[in-house]
Structure 1
Amino acid sequence: MPLKEGGTLTSYSNLGAPKGTLSKSRVYVDGQRLTAVKTISIVPTSFAFSAASRVKSDADRLMVSNALDRALCIALSDKYQLVPAGQPADMTIRSVVTDIVPTNKAMAGVATAVTVGTGFVLPIGVPRLPVGLGGLAVEAEAVDSGGVQRAAMVWARGANSIQNKPRVSQVGDAYGLASKFGSDFSRMLIAGKEPKGLDISLPSRQRMQSLLGGKPKYAACDAFGRAPGLVGAVAANYGAPPEWTDKKPKPLMTH
């Protein structure tokens, strides 16, 4: 999955050279300026026109956007106070899906049948068939209250046979990869520098609660729905479309 610029960042000149193997990225982070940040707001992720045209359903695009923003919101809650979009904050995050490779639903169904079926007769799991895999490309930036870019990332990753379970949905892979991007970008903001190597730290208590579908640390995160939790994990093992278990945001009360 190649990196793809969408022309939505304040600047691309600060970005470093492309790095990474599974996930490719170009990043910039002003760690010194981030030390003063206390509050963050997240603008709901949007799709570039070329990316949106590759996914037929508005609901599917919204589901991918929510998964990305939810992952950001939950992870960033470890260090920052999250406030609703549109409210004053020290830092605002804007993300755009610049490209998406739809998952081939028919091949995902075949891969699920092979994986689940062999699981009943073999002592080890069989890798996913390397056919019809999806991918995702995203660019995002964090700007301060004056509109100055303090962090940015252009990121891309394709699904693989080992780490990504087949799901019978056009956005089956993009849905999972969106959460991966949210984790990568938030990790950079929290550390104030480009992350090195795998993240082997244990998740915090608040993050575990949120990932299991519980109440998030900050109410602002409810704008992106709650994580599917254990039910979602079980459904994913059997190739169920993510919309079966994804928890949509609750409508805001107007009175």
Structure 2
Amino acid sequence: MNIRMIRLAAKVCGPLGLWITLSGCATAPLETSGSLVAYNNLKPEDGVTTKSKLYVDKAGVLTARSIRIVPTTFSSLALKAELSDKQRRVIANAVDRSLCFGLSDRFQVVPMGEAADLSVHVTITHLTVTDAGLAGASKVASIAPNFISGGMPIPVPRIPFGMGSLSVEGEAKDTNGRQKAAFVWARGADFITSTPRVAASGDAYDLASEFGTDFSKLLVTAESPFKKTLSLPSAQRMQSSLGGKPKYAACDAFGRSGLPALVGGKMGAPPEWNDDAKPVASTQ
């Protein structure tokens, strides 16, 4: 099986001209589902690899001190993607977990059912699944050169076919249901920075965390997440991302992935193998 994967990788990646003519990035539409209160205030605001439209009431967001996360849902269109219920659960949960860790930098995150200055909800509007076979071929192709080089790491681009994408929309509303921020976001996996996972859910899972990071930056700063220069994650976010106790107990509703999920991702394992997306017991 591994030999077939290596041959497939060689066949696809062989001609140098192929890399020049391909964009190397999966296409993701800026899809909407009607879940937002309003769309008329949205303005285009793209990142390097991300398409988006956003709106933020700067004063309304910056005066807020507490926030509640309503669990992410799938639109009827996104539900058509060929994923298992568990795969959908880990993707949606990855959005909420990443969002919770990021929001904790400024907001007090409270559990569902408690009063908060803002409530935030995200809807996954479109999803393209990853071709698990091609992802596996990419992973094998990235490992093979290390044997030739005697263990020295050699960067190998991913096979630019069968990559997944994710389109999402989210908003933050005040206690009266008025929209204070809205974000429509779309991004596809790319053949340089995206790590292939051997699962249909692979790229969407990783992109879900990227969206959570971008949306939390929008709400923490009340500015476009794409205008900020690169900066290191906060200490609390690093601790939470590595499986440590989060700053606010409300984030434990979305579980702790930690090092096993991180290592599994680097090895190309399906997200659902190392992330059960289950809440952490309140006694922990």
Same fold flag (TM > 0.5): yes
Amino acid at match of 2:165: G
Counting helix residues as a fraction of each chain, which structure ranks higher?
2
From 96, 117, 121, the equivalent of 1:69 is 96
CA displacement 1:184-212 (0-9 Å, x = unmatched): 01101111122344542111111111010
Task: After superposition, give the CA deviation of every residue in 1:142-163 in whole Å (9 maximum; x if it has no partner).
Answer: 0000000000000000000111
Counterpart of 2:225 in structure 1 is 195
Counterpart residue type for residue 93 of structure 2: N
Q: Which residue of 2 aligns with 1:232?
A: 261
The list of structure 1 runs, each at least 4 consecutive aligned residues, that deviate by more than 6 angstroms after superposition, is none
Which of residues 44, 53, 58 in structure 1 aligns to 2:80? 53
TM-score (norm 2): 0.85
**Within 5 A, what are the aligned runs for 1:1-255?**
1-17=28-44, 19-122=46-149, 123=152, 124-197=154-227, 199-227=229-257, 229-250=258-279
CA distance in 2, matches of 1:107, 1:196: 31
Q: Larger C-alpha radius of gyration, 1 or 2? A: 2
The root-mean-square deviation of aligned C-alpha atoms, in Å, is 1.5
Question: How far apart, in 1, do the equivalents of 2:69 and 2:59 lie?
Answer: 21
Deviation digits for residues 120-168 of structure 1, max 9, x if unmatched? 3244221111111000000000000000000000000000011111101
TM-score in terms of structure 1 length = 0.94
Shift of 1:239: 1.0
The one-letter code matched in structure 1 to 2:256 is: R
- The letter of the residue matching 2:239 is Q
Which residue in 1 is equivalent to 2:15? Answer: none
Which residue of 1 is the match for residue 12 of structure 2?
Answer: none
Moved more, 148-157 or 11-20: 11-20
Q: Secondary structure at the match of 2:77?
A: helix
For structure 1, the 5+ residue unaligned runs are none
Question: Counterpart amino acid of 1:56?
Answer: L
- Aligned to 1:120, what secondary structure does the other structure show? helix
- CA offsets per residue over residues 57-90 of structure 1, 9 Å max, x none? 1110010010000000001101000011222110
Unmatched 5+ residue regions in structure 2? 1-27
Q: CA deviation at 1:226?
A: 0.8
CA distance in 1, matches of 2:45, 2:131: 28
